[in-house]
Amino acid sequence: MRILLISFLTFISFAGNSQQIIDTIQSEEGTMIVFANRTWVYLEDLNFDGIMNHHVASQVDTDSNLNYIQSWDHDVCYTSNLANNVNAMKDTIWLCLEDSESDSLDGLFHMPTDGIITSHFGWRRGRNHNGTDLDLNTGDTVRAAWGGKVRYAKFNTSGFGNLVIIRHHNGLETFYAHLSKHIVVPDQMVNPGDPIGLGGNTGHSYGSHLHFEVRFYDIPMNPEKVIDFKEGIVRDENLMVHRGLFRPGGYAPSSSGKAVASGDKKYYRVRSGDTLGAIASRNRTTVSRICQLNGIRPTTVLQIGKNLRIR
Ligand SMILES: [Zn+2]
């Protein structure tokens, strides 16, 4: 087995990258191969079919109205070639955007960047703007909104510039465009809040900003219907995916009985001098619980003014 693995790695070094392999790292995210020029790839899981959420995929697949296409492709933005027709959607599909009971990071949301909205989803300058623009400075860290697997990470010539696309466990994909640099590679698993790139001004962009898209089977929805960018939280733990959601004026009705329980959730705005330990004890919780709720680590540097969820 060991000999097999070594010969396989050597093959990769010749096939994909003429650089010498200087390290292989085993992690929860998979096997990472590091080349001498400090680029890296993940060993592709050849059994992976692109499905991150089997519950959602089976609903889509069994609905004969939809005929939706989705594949796992590192080279194209839209794996259906935008063939998935929103008007075919007759039923509502339930997605779970945040699972506050979950013990794993996978079930949480994290803001991609903290900047204010500079442009909304919808009709703009004679064409559809398929995402929300968020202000940032070139070099600012851009983070994964939810956990999932990186599908696309490279320069895109059709306007996105440096683009990262992540397919999430919740059934959605998110796009992060105009990056100055991407710091993830395809097939890499990410947790919510993991750094995936640095903000920038590449592609069709006038001034540094993040163009952020949320898509369901390639169909873009208004990210502001899903995320409250001012508070840095999802609007509801549940997302009801139906035709109306994808219209600029559409909205996502919350499921009965499980509305955004603002009374259940509690947030704390970080002030100068705060530490996680002090915030935790003042709010009668633990550092690990705060880390879990916010997708951060105990060593994460707290940003003043940022809202931390503490319950
Ligand atoms: Zn934009």
Measured CA to CA, the distance from residue 270 to residue 304 in angstroms comes to 5
Confidence of residue 36 (pLDDT cuts 50, 70, 90): confident
Confidence of residue 234 (pLDDT cuts 50, 70, 90): very high
Q: What is the pLDDT of residue 253?
A: 36
**What separation in Å is there between the alpha carbon of 123 and the centre of ligand 1?**
11
Say yes or no to pLDDT of 257 above 50.
no
**What separation in Å is there between the alpha carbon of 170 and the centre of ligand 1?**
23
% pLDDT > 70, the chain? 86
**What separation in Å is there between the alpha carbon of 119 and the centre of ligand 1?**
7
Q: What is the pLDDT of residue 265?
A: 65
- Domains defined for the chain, CATH in brackets: 11-42 (no CATH), 49-260 (2.70.70.10), 267-309 (3.10.350.10)
- Among 194, 188, 158, residue whose Cα is nearest residue 78: 158
Say yes or no to pLDDT of 262 above 90.
no
**What separation in Å is there between the alpha carbon of 255 and the centre of ligand 1?**
30
Please state whether beta strands 122-124 and 219-221 pair in parallel, antiparallel, or not at all (unpaired): unpaired
**What separation in Å is there between the alpha carbon of 33 and the centre of ligand 1?**
34
Measured CA to CA, the distance from residue 274 to residue 294 in angstroms comes to 16
**What separation in Å is there between the alpha carbon of 93 and the centre of ligand 1?**
27
Say yes or no to pLDDT of 266 above 80.
no
Through-space distance between the first and last CA atoms of the chain, rounded to whole angstroms: 47
Task: Identify whether the C-beta of residue 192 lies closer than 8 Å to the C-beta of residue 144.
Answer: yes
Measured CA to CA, the distance from residue 210 to residue 228 in angstroms comes to 16
**What separation in Å is there between the alpha carbon of 76 and the centre of ligand 1?**
19
Select the more confidently predicted residue: 163 or 252. Answer: 163
Confidence of residue 72 (pLDDT cuts 50, 70, 90): very high
Measured CA to CA, the distance from residue 197 to residue 290 in angstroms comes to 24
Q: 89-133, pLDDT tens digit by residue? A: 888 999 999 876 766 777 799 999 999 999 999 887 777 899 999
**What separation in Å is there between the alpha carbon of 117 and the centre of ligand 1?**
10
**What separation in Å is there between the alpha carbon of 130 and the centre of ligand 1?**
7
**What separation in Å is there between the alpha carbon of 286 and the centre of ligand 1?**
38
The whole-model pTM stands at: 0.73
- What's the residue count for the chain? 311
Q: 279-299, pLDDT tens digit by residue? A: 887 777 778 888 877 777 777
Select the more confidently predicted residue: 308 or 76. Answer: 76
Say yes or no to pLDDT of 276 above 50.
yes
Residues with CB in 5 Å of ion ligand 1:
131, 133, 211
Say yes or no to pLDDT of 7 above 60.
no
**What separation in Å is there between the alpha carbon of 263 and the centre of ligand 1?**
33
Measured CA to CA, the distance from residue 164 to residue 51 in angstroms comes to 18
**What separation in Å is there between the alpha carbon of 71 and the centre of ligand 1?**
25
Measured CA to CA, the distance from residue 189 to residue 205 in angstroms comes to 28
**What separation in Å is there between the alpha carbon of 185 and the centre of ligand 1?**
23
Q: What is the pLDDT of residue 10?
A: 46
Q: What is the pLDDT of residue 162?
A: 98
**What separation in Å is there between the alpha carbon of 36 and the centre of ligand 1?**
36
